[in-house]
């Protein structure tokens, strides 16, 4: 059945994925078999009782067949009850996280995913989890309804404003697993993605302490580019001068920017830093004050990176 699974489904990344696939494939195969059986009988009997010659065939008068009717009622009912119990068992399993699960807070907002870990570490666009440990996500939204979806873990749950919803999973496959937003939430809905990094427990602890080791060695402008691509900036700010939800970053460094209150401000390191942490205090003219704050979501070095990156966009 494995070849069929890998042909029809994304890779399996969690213990739950195997359960889901087994139920799903079993139902699919059962449906296929029933379809073939019914189609074969219909065609076979149509052929067998076709009109032959000019002799009109008289249909015999049959009222019922108790044994046959009981058979075609009881067997499907038993199959349906069996499928229900099997599916319900999996549903309960997916609904109740284990007591010792690692708890991570997830916030969805237009248009990024932010994560907060038990020790206070935060990340945007990258969820880090240890291999083999149950992880529980406590999720909410800062604006509209989003939906947190990891296909390879076979889990999906709406993320709502003013309310918490939960998901849990136990990752079994190390590596990167794609996260999608599965609820249409506006212009950049389809860009609202994140990556789940399943690391060894040691690597996970190290990441919690120090962040990405490669990032510490990178030049600032490259860090800024990474932040731009992965933390949601690119959804609204272009780097080629084209107009988006927010002003383009191209060529703004060192310019005077008119603000919506009529004043002007020099685009320097302080203005950029301020716009990242307190985005709606100085809004460029012609744009809506819709940017979420990145207060506490970016490391100091990442903010410096963004400043250097914008500086480099001549």
Out of 115, 150, 167, 183, which residue is the one contacting ligand CUA (CB under 6 A)?
183
User: Could you tell me the smallest distance in angstroms from the CB atom of residue 159 to ligand CUA?
Assistant: 8
302 forms part of the interface with ligand CUA (CB under 6 A): no
Terminal C-alpha separation, the chain: 56
Nearer residue to ligand CUA within complex by CB, 19 or 147: 147
Segment 104 to 163, residues that bind ligand CUA, using CB under 6 A:
108, 111, 146
User: Could you tell me the smallest distance in angstroms from the CB atom of residue 172 to ligand CUA?
Assistant: 27
Cα–Cα distance, 112 to 194 (Å, whole number): 8
Nearer residue to ligand CUA within complex by CB, 83 or 160: 160
Cα–Cα distance, 278 to 85 (Å, whole number): 52
Nearer residue to ligand CUA within complex by CB, 160 or 215: 160
- Pairing relationship of beta strands 165-169 and 175-181 according to DSSP bridges: unpaired
User: Could you tell me the smallest distance in angstroms from the CB atom of residue 194 to ligand CUA?
Assistant: 11
User: Could you tell me the smallest distance in angstroms from the CB atom of residue 107 to ligand CUA?
Assistant: 11
Nearer residue to ligand CUA within complex by CB, 183 or 308: 183
Q: Is 69 exposed, middle or buried (0-12, 13-18, 19+ CB in 10 A)?
A: exposed
Nearer residue to ligand CUA within complex by CB, 185 or 276: 185
Segment 51 to 110, residues that bind ligand CUA, using CB under 6 A:
108
Q: Which residues contact 81 (CB under 8 A, 6 or more apart)?
A: none
Out of 184, 213, 278, 285, which residue is the one contacting ligand CUA (CB under 6 A)?
184
Stretch that binds ligand CUA, among 9-17, 160-168, 182-190, 282-290 (CB under 6 A): 182-190
Nearer residue to ligand CUA within complex by CB, 153 or 309: 153
Contact 290, 110 (CB under 8 A): yes
192 forms part of the interface with ligand CUA (CB under 6 A): yes
User: Could you tell me the smallest distance in angstroms from the CB atom of residue 155 to ligand CUA?
Assistant: 16
Out of 128, 154, 177, 189, which residue is the one contacting ligand CUA (CB under 6 A)?
189
231 forms part of the interface with ligand CUA (CB under 6 A): no
Nearer residue to ligand CUA within complex by CB, 22 or 178: 178
Out of 185, 303, 304, 313, which residue is the one contacting ligand CUA (CB under 6 A)?
185
By CB under 6 A, name the binding residues for ligand CUA: 108, 111, 146, 181, 183-185, 189, 192
């Amino acid at each position: 059945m494995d070849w069929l699974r890998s042909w029809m489904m994304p890779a399996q990344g969690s213990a739950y994925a195997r359960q889901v696939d087994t139920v799903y494939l079993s139902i699919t195969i059962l449906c296929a078999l029933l379809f073939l059986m019914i189609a074969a009988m219909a065609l076979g009997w149509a052929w067998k009782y076709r009109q032959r010659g000019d002799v009109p065939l008289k249909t015999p008068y049959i009222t019922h067949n108790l044994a046959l009717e009981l058979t075609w009622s009881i067997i499907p009912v038993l199959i349906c009850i069996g499928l229900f119990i099997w599916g319900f068992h999996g549903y309960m399993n997916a609904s109740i996280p284990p007591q010792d699960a690692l708890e991570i807070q997830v916030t969805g907002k237009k248009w990024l995913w932010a994560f907060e870990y038990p020790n206070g570490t935060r990340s945007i666009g990258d969820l880090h989890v240890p291999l083999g440990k149950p992880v529980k996500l406590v999720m909410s939204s800062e604006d509209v309804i989003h939906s947190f979806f990891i296909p390879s873990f076979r889990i999906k749950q709406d993320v709502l404003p003013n309310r918490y919803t939960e998901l849990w999973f136990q990752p079994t496959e190390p590596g990167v697993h794609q996260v999608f937003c599965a609820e249409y939430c506006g212009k950049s809905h389809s860009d609202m993605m994140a990556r789940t990094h399943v690391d060894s427990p040691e690597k996970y602890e190290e990441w919690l302490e120090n962040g990405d080791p490669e990032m510490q060695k990178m030049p600032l402008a490259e860090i800024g580019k990474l932040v731009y691509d992965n933390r949601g900036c690119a959804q609204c700010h272009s780097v080629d001068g084209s107009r988006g939800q927010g002003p383009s970053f191209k060529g703004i460094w060192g310019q005077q920017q008119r603000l919506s209150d009529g004043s002007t401000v020099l685009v320097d390191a302080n203005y950029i830093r301020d716009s990242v942490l307190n985005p709606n205090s100085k809004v460029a003219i012609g744009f809506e004050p819709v940017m979420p704050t990145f207060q506490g979501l970016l490391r100091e070095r990442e903010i410096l990176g963004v400043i250097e990156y914008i500086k480099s966009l001549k």
